[in-house]
Structure formats: C-alpha cells, structure tokens
Amino acid sequence: MARYVTASETGERLNLEHKEVIRRIRKGDIEARKMGWNWIIEESEVERVKAKPWYTKLMALREQRAS
C-alpha cells in the first residue's frame, strides 16, 4: 500500500516552499492527487523528484548562491 505525504511535508523533505511545491504540481513536475482541499504525494514520488533535472539544477543554483 502506498504511503502519502502532504504538499507541506513534501516541501520540508525537498527543501522547497509550500507554494513552490504547489506550483510544480500544477506544472506537472510533481505527480500528486487532490484530496479535498489538500494535495497528496506518494512518498516514492518525493524520492523520484530528487533525481529530476529541474530539482537538481535548482539545488545546484542554491548551493552556488550560498557560496
């Protein structure tokens, strides 16, 4: 059985703001389902996002800016 997390929890795990997670869901970058008012994301999708090009580029850019 799949385990799900909220958009907020996804943001915490990916170091993204909640609004960014929602924007990425709407754009199709993160697979999610709407349950009532909330978006839910499979835990396995959170791990897949970490390997997606847009995410790795964003994290590299943040790291570069922090240096």
Residue-range definition of the domain harbouring residue 36: 4-66
Q: Residue 50: how many CB atoms within 10 A of its CB? A: 11
pLDDT tens, 4-52?
A: 999 999 999 999 999 999 999 999 999 999 999 999 999 999 999 999 9
Per DSSP, the three-state class of 12 is: helix
The domain total for the chain is: 1
Q: What is the pTM of this model?
A: 0.89
Q: What pLDDT was estimated at residue 6?
A: 97
Q: Do residues 22 and 7 touch, judged by C-beta distance below 8 A?
A: yes
